[in-house]
Amino acid sequence: MMERRDFLRNTVVVSAGVLVAPSLFAKGTSNSENHLTILHTNDTHSNIDPFPENHSRYPGKGGVARRFELINKIRAEEENVLLLDAGDIFQGTPYFNRYGGVLEMRLMSELGYDAATMGNHDFDAGIDGFVKARQYAKFPFLCSNYDFTNTAIDGHTDDTFIVQKGNIKVGIFGVGVELKGLVPDDKYKETVYIDPIDIANDRARDLKKQGCDLIICLSHLGYEYGSDKVSDRVFAQKTRNIHLIIGGHTHTFLEKPTEEKNLDGETVLVNQVGWAGINVGRIDFQFEKKAFAKKDVLIVE
């Protein structure tokens, strides 16, 4: 576990070299109202129990009850915590085959998830199956580039979500992967996939206009591809105003977030933490109070 003290010390060291007078900065850090901890998962795939001890790759790893303990421990240490998921909650164990995703939704609500987006496997119970399980979720599903107008999901997802954490106003939205070829047609029915880049730019601009200090995109596009298929890395480079992309789909185990430059040359963080609930990603943001608003600067330690 990372100690908060280490984090702060690192922050000061870096900021002294790069940014502003340390004395000014030190005042900011004493205020937990300017500190935000993002916790995130992706591709948990119905893994409720830990992997068995004789599992060939991840013996004894994961488990929702343990994730609950881990999250609660961090919540006890940090004032402002957001818990997010980047999709593919469904499919992977008999829990899903038998209960259609209801248990997954109940548990995520119990863990206090603030928002999630839909992955391709979240269509595996069909449109109606998702809606049925969705009733047990006490958090919004953020989907900006699926048009659900002619489906039963219409009205069960949100475009954007704004939440105030201490002094920090956070804006969140979500984008999903193209479903054709990935999901049988009869599962997603008349859901229309829309290219995520234009939509993301619109949403992020709207969130910025509404005064959000931090803009997060939950993405199930996938981390990167050998082809020109849009991935989180490509998406980060072709958009503006997004600070953090929490990704999924490719089950990529990143040690730490990747830094990309967006259309305005600003830093965007892209993260993904594997699958099956083996890991929880943690990203801490320390905001600095300033006399007046300038362009946001993201400093990564």
Range 63-122, binding another protein (CB under 8 A): 63-70, 73, 91, 94-95, 97-99, 103, 106-107, 110-111
DSSP-based three-state secondary structure for 11: helix
* 30, 76, 186, 227: which one binds another protein (CB under 8 A): 186
**Paired tokens of 81:** 């915590």
- Count of residues interacting with another protein (CB under 8 A): 83
- 277 sits near another protein (criterion: CB under 8 A): yes
- 294 sits near another protein (criterion: CB under 8 A): yes
Q: Write the CB contacts of 115 (distance below 8 Å, at least 6 apart in sequence).
A: 84, 85, 139, 140, 141, 142, 161, 172, 174, 218
Decide if 268 contacts 243 (C-beta within 8 A): yes
The residues in 127-166 that bind another protein, with binding defined as CB under 8 A, are: none
Q: Which stretch binds another protein (CB under 8 A): 112-120, 146-154, 219-227, 269-277?
A: 269-277
DSSP-based three-state secondary structure for 48: coil
Q: Write the CB contacts of 135 (distance below 8 Å, at least 6 apart in sequence).
A: 105
Give the per-residue contact string, 165-184, with another protein (x = CB under 8 A; - = no): --xxx-----------x--x
As measured in angstroms, the least distance from the Cβ of 270 to another protein is 11
Our CB check for another protein shows the closer of 34 and 117 to be: 34
Q: What is the C-alpha separation between 91 and 112, in angstroms, rounded? A: 21
The residues in 38-57 that bind another protein, with binding defined as CB under 8 A, are: 48-50
* 21, 23, 227, 291: which one binds another protein (CB under 8 A): 291
Which is it for strands 160-165 and 168-175: parallel, antiparallel or unpaired?
Answer: antiparallel
